[in-house]
Amino acid sequence: MIDIKLLRANPELVKENIKKKFQDEKLVLVDEVLELDAQWRAAHTRCDQLRNQRNVISKQIGGMMARGERDKAEETKKQVTAMADEMAALTLKEEELEKAINERMMVIPNIIDPTVPIGKDDSENVELERFGEPKVPEYEVPYHVDIMESVKGIDLDNARKTSGNGFYYLCGDIARLQSAILSYARDFMIDKGFTYYIPPFMIRGNVVSGVMSFAEMDNMMYKIEGEDLYLIGTSEHSMIGKFIDSFLTEEELPQTLTSYSPCFRKEVGAHGIEERGVYRIHQFEKQEMIVVCRPEESPEWFEKLWRYSVEFFRTLDIPVRTIECCSGDLADLKVKSIDVEAWSPRQKKYFEVGSCSNLGDAQARRLGIRVKNKQKGNYFAHTLNNTVVAPPRMLIAFLENNLQADGSIRIPEVLRMYMGGKDCIR
C-alpha cells in the first residue's frame, strides 16, 4: 500500500505506475481516492472547528449561570447539543470515508523500482545472468516421478486415496533427502548470520491482508472454517506478521531471519494440479529468508538475498539463472523481484525454484511496522523475502542434475553428513 501523501501530491505518478503494470482498470481508483480524501478532510476540519467552538461555548455557560442568565444558558446548551450531534454524524462519516479510502488504497499497486523492465506478463521477463554450465547427459533423464519410484521414494497412488491430487507420500531415501536439503538450507542461512525460526503455521485474517493482496489471498489461502485463521502459503506470512503493530529501534535493524514451515496452497489458476508429479502441489515444505530493514538498506539486502539462493544451488551442483520480473508480472505489493530458475536436463530448459522480492514499505504500512527516530520522526520499515529452498520442486532439479548413468543419484559433499554419510542413492 502506497502512502496517501504521495497520491495527494503526485496522482499522475501513481497513474503512470498503474499503466506500467498494465492495470488500466485501476486508474479510476486514484480519482476516487482523491475525491473521498477531500470529503474526509472537509469532515475532519469541520469536526475540529465544532470541537473548538463547543469548548469555548461550554465555558461561557458557566459564566451565564453565575450571572443568573438561566434562559440564555439553556439556549446555549441547545447549541452545544446540536454541535455534539453534528460531530457524532461527522465522526461516523469520517469512519465510512476512511474505510472506503483504505479499500481502494489496498488495491492500488505499489510504486515499482525504476530499474524494473516494462512488460505485460512473465513472457517479457528478462534473463540477467547464468551460473554453472547447463548440461544434457548422453543417457536419458526420466521424468522426476519415475526417478523417485525407481528408488521407492514416492507414493502418489495412496496419497490420492487419502487426500486427492496435489499430495504425495515421500518415503525412504527420497524422504530423507528432502529432510537433508532442508537441514542443509537451515544451516546455510544460520552461517550467513540469520536467526532460525519455526513459526506458527496458521495466521489471522488481518495478518493475511497485511502481507499480500486480496487476489493472491483468494487464489492461495486455505481458510479454517468457523475461525479467523488461515493456513500459511509460506512462512514469510508468519514472519512478517510477527512484527505487526510494533515499533523497532534502528539499533534492532536489520532483522535477518530464516524460517522453516510446511506451506499450503490452493493453486487456483490455469496451471492446475498434475495428477502425476510434484511441481505444483497443495502441500510442501520450504526454508525462507526474511529481512526487515531501514529503507536505504533494502536495495543492498535485495542483492544479497538472491545471491544467497544462487550460492546455495551451486553448492549442490545445480546450474541456475536469474530472471528479472517485468512490471506486469510483479505482484501489487512488490517493488522489485528476481526469480531463480534451475536447469532441467530432461526438459532442456530452466524452471522457477525460488523468488526474491523487495516490497518496500508496503507490508510495513499495512501491518504498522514502524521504526523509531527522534530526529526525523518515526517511519515504516522495508521488508524483503526470498526462497532458500522449496522441496519437492527443488528435488526435481536435484534429481535430474545428480542422476548418474546407472540410475543412481549422486549426493553432493555438502549433504552427505545429513544422509548418514551416503554418497549416492541406489
Tens of pLDDT, residue by residue over 285-317, are 999 999 999 999 999 999 999 999 999 999 999
Do 161 and 80 lie in one domain? The reply is no
Which pLDDT does position 275 carry in this prediction? 57
Q: What is the total count of domains within the chain?
A: 2
146 and 14 both lie in a single domain: no
Residue given cell 498503474 in the structure block: 18
User: Is the residue at 114 inside a domain?
Assistant: no
88 and 148 belong to one structural domain: no
Cell of 274: 498434475
**CATH number of the domain bearing residue 366:** 3.30.930.10
- The pLDDT, as a whole number, for residue 207 is 94
What would the pLDDT profile of 73-120 be if each residue is shown by its tens digit?
778 888 888 888 898 999 999 999 999 999 999 999 999 999 999 999
Given a contact cutoff of 8 angstroms between Cβ atoms, the answer to whether 121 and 21 are in contact is no
Residues 317 and 182 in one domain: yes
Over residues 2-39, the pLDDT tens digits come to: 999 999 999 999 999 999 999 999 999 999 999 999 99
What cell numbers appear for 388 in the block? 532458500
Pairing of strands 424-425, 230-231: unpaired
CATH number of the domain within which 11 lies: 1.10.287.40
Tell which of 77, 105, 133 closes a domain.
105
| Integer Cα distance of 324 and 304 in angstroms | 15
Q: What angle do CA 235, 273, 259 make, to 5 degrees?
A: 10
CA 201 to chain centre: 15
Give CA angle at 420 (415, 422), nearest 5°: 70
Residue whose entry in the numeric block shows the C-alpha cell 467552538: 53
**The pLDDT value given to residue 270:** 40
Which parts of the chain sit beneath pLDDT 50? 269-270, 272
Nearest to 30 by CA among 2, 11, 56, 48: 11
Give the whole-angstrom CA distance, residue 312 versus residue 386: 12
Domain of residue 17 covers 4-105
Q: Smallest Cα–Cα separation from 389: which of 302, 303, 284, 319?
A: 284
For residue 96, being part of any structural domain is answered with: yes
The pLDDT, as a whole number, for residue 93 is: 95
- This prediction's pTM: 0.89
Q: Residue 275 has what DSSP assignment? A: S
